Amino acid sequence: MKPIAIFRHSPSEGAGYFTTFLNAKNIPWQLICIDAGDAVPRNAQDYSGLVFMGGPMSVNDDLPWIPEVLALIRDAVEHDVPLLGHCLGGQLISKALGGVVTKNPVKELGWGKVEVADNATARTWFGDIREFDSFHWHGETFSLPQGAVHLLSSAHCVNQAYAIGKHLALQCHVEMTESMIRAWCENGADEIAANRQSPGVQTAADMQMQMQDKMPQLHRAAEQLYRHWLQGLAR
């Protein structure tokens, strides 16, 4: 089996629970560290799937690797290689496929409830899950590209997830671990402080205090999504 390519765009925004999930199933994967200068592959067919993680930048920034990633995403769709995007990753998929990424009405930083859409595609991806508390860290949002089916929403962001066939794009972070949350709280202390008036922003203390209660439910949702996504892997 070809490895799954996982794209990291920031040292603190790695694959988290996703690689825990893959390792438990003995599925090979390769980490491509864009933040460390790794080259963007040209051929999506070298991998069984492509997974894009988060990052502090915008897909609208003038960064040299962004056009290369957008071209790779389009190549993956053309050759039926499944895509999975988390936050920035979901925004990259949206932009590559004709959507737009714009400022969200409010910042979302911390835990917040998301609701699963009432349609057959959403039920296929989420199973019996109808809502759960996800983790959020974003100030922008994506539109749905042509052919996308809406899957998930929150009180402060309408488009939290969509699917196009075997491809899944998420705005929220289902890949979180406790160590990642602690690191983000430390690295993002200034961002939290600057946006404390936003109804979608929690204090770092609140984020960490809720981890023990909310993490099992988050990982249940992640496993449900990841299991379904694996069914579409290129063999």
Going from N- to C-terminal start, the domains of the chain cover 4-230
Over range 119-142, report the average pLDDT: 98
Mean pLDDT, residues 180-189: 97
**So what CATH class is 4-230?**
alpha beta
Q: For residue range 4-29, what is the model confidence (pLDDT) as tens digits? A: 999 999 999 999 999 999 999 999 99
Residue 234: which pLDDT band, with cuts at 50, 70 and 90? low
**pLDDT score recorded for residue 39:** 97
Q: How far apart are CA 137 and CA 104, in angstroms?
A: 11
- Could you tell me how far CA 102 lies from the centroid of its own chain? 16
Q: How far apart are CA 221 and CA 215, in angstroms?
A: 10
Backbone angles phi, psi at 40, to 5 degrees: -80, 125
Distance of CA 207 to the CA centre of its chain: 19
pLDDT bin (cut points 50, 70, 90) of residue 235 is low
Type of residue numbered 118:
D
**59-97 residue pLDDT tens:** 999 999 999 999 999 999 999 999 999 999 999 999 999
Question: Where does the pLDDT of residue 105 fall: very low under 50, low under 70, confident under 90, or very high at 90 and above?
Answer: very high
Note whether 14 and 219 are within 8 A (CB).
Answer: no
pTM: 0.97
Mean pLDDT of 117-126: 98
Residue whose tokens read 């003995």: 26
Is there a contact between 222 and 86 (Cβ–Cβ < 8 Å)? no
What's the mean pLDDT in 102-124? 97
Q: What is the predicted pLDDT for the residue at 77?
A: 98
| H or E element, residue 133 | strand 131-142
